[in-house]
Amino acid sequence: MQKPVYLDHHATTPLDARVLEAMLPYFGAKFGNAASKTHSYGWEAEKAVDRARQQVAELAGAEAREIVFTSGATESINLAIKGAAAGGGHVVTVSTEHKAVLDTVKRLPRVTVVPVGTDGLVDPAAVRDAIEADTVLVCVMYANNEIGVIQAVREIGELCRERGIWFHCDAAQAFGKIPMDAQRDDIHLMSLSAHKLYGPKGVGALYVRRKDPRVRLDAQIDGGGHEFGMRSGTLNVPGIVGFGEACAIAAREMAEESARLLRLRERLRAEIEASVEGARINGSLEHRLAGNLNVTFPGVDADALLMNMPDLALSTGSACSSATVEPSHVLRAIGLSTRDARSSVRFGLGRFTTEEEIDYAASRVIESVRKLRALAPIS
């Protein structure tokens, strides 16, 4: 069987061959522990980690010592939220955040969840109004993992700075896809993951601002004081090297790649909208990642649609919640009915997506929607 056309790049991205090439030596001859300070094997590993830390920092608009390596964005989010709110206080977040944020804040005593509009965007004024006298942290994701909308991060960061409140941003989906600058955007904590930008799985980072103001977190993993005392554990040197190389590639190619993906996405959108009656795009088109399209096909069960197209790799929402039977909390938050939420499909285009694949995917989706509607006409 031919490999399915992969259009699920929000779940994960394929490892770029250039990233793998950079990693390979650290699985073999360069196997040292970066914490070993007494011999050349450790020094070599530490040097590689330092270089990767600088590469990640440059893409994030940060200083190298502000990058704390973790196992991925979920761990980074937990460290940011639990570490910042360890002393108590009120936290503000948004209804369309990733489950890694929403499930983490459930463990806190006082949280306000701000709703979004039908376009998926949160009004910064609503965030401002949710802030209380003892608010210690605001959490707003940079770009949504299901509908791809990009929030007004700079404006929210500015209001947090004015109130003296730390601002955490889950940037896992946006990092490496759009330009960002943690300093400029007044972000204090920013969660990142390598496998969302053609790097390896199992490695991520947390940006922790060191000045104006310096953010201090309670560590969530103890045992050796690694990563400036914020995250103990032997560093995943091959993964970190791969993360750094993925960032370096993104820094060079981001603008061209984004423009190409936008052309492909709009080609896909035009085909679907012209050929599928009632198809609706979910979320703002103006403020959106170039590679994202989330479409409702009224009257068609999305799971049945995907089962009918084993030659396409698509999803109905977040990979982290794909095993649940509940409809997408993101789509429900923007006002979709349960029925329409269950009729929605996420398309995630990526670096290696071709024009031919887009045309093939469009034809298969159109064909399958028509087939399923013929079997069960829209009432």
Q: What is the pLDDT along the chain (379 residues), one digit of tens a residue?
A: 578 999 999 999 999 999 999 999 999 999 999 999 999 999 999 999 999 999 999 999 999 999 999 999 999 999 999 999 998 999 999 999 999 999 999 999 999 999 999 999 999 999 999 999 999 999 999 999 999 999 999 999 999 999 999 999 999 999 999 999 999 999 999 999 999 999 999 999 999 999 999 999 999 998 988 998 889 999 999 999 999 999 999 999 999 999 999 999 999 999 999 999 999 999 999 999 999 999 999 999 999 999 999 999 999 975 555 455 689 999 999 999 999 999 999 999 999 999 999 999 999 999 999 999 998 765 5
Question: Are 33 and 153 part of one and the same domain?
Answer: yes
The number of domains in the chain is: 2
Q: Return the pLDDT at 379.
A: 53
Alpha carbon of 43 to those of 151, 155, 167, 314, 347: distances in Å? 41, 42, 35, 43, 43
Residue whose entry in the numeric block shows the structure tokens 């889950």: 170
Q: Which amino acid is at 105?
A: V
Residues 367 and 230 in one domain: no
Answer yes or no: do 150 and 296 share one domain.
no
39 with 125, same domain: the answer is yes
Q: Are residues 166 and 191 in the same domain?
A: yes
Q: Are residues 258 and 338 in the same domain?
A: yes
8 A C-beta contact, residue 292 and residue 346: yes
Assess whether 112 and 50 both reside in one domain.
Answer: yes
Non-local (6+) Cβ contacts of 266 within 8 A are none
Contacts with 125 (C-beta within 8 Å, 6 or more apart), sequence order: none
The last residue of one of the domains, among 203, 232, 249, is 249
- Domain limits for position 279: 5-12+254-375
> Does residue 327 sit in the same domain as residue 178?
no
Of 109, 63, 92, the residue nearest 165 (C-alpha): 92
Distance CA 236, CA 75 (A): 14
320 is catalytic: yes
The end-to-end CA distance of the chain, in Å, is: 36
At which of 229, 249, 269 does a domain end?
A: 249
Query: pLDDT per residue over 189-234, tens digit each?
Result: 999 999 999 999 999 999 999 999 999 999 999 898 899 888 999 9
CATH, residue 29? 3.40.640.10
Same structural domain, 202 and 107:
yes
Q: Which of 139, 169, 247, 320 is catalytic?
A: 320
Distance (Å, whole) CA 196 – CA 176: 8
Residue whose C-alpha is closest to residue 336's, from 179, 146, 166, 142: 146
**Same domain, yes or no: 170 and 276:** no
Q: What pLDDT shows up at residue 324?
A: 57
Which of 233, 249, 265 is the last residue before a domain boundary? 249
38 lies in the same domain as 78: yes
Q: Are residues 346 and 240 in the same domain?
A: no
Domain at 275, CATH number: 3.90.1150.10
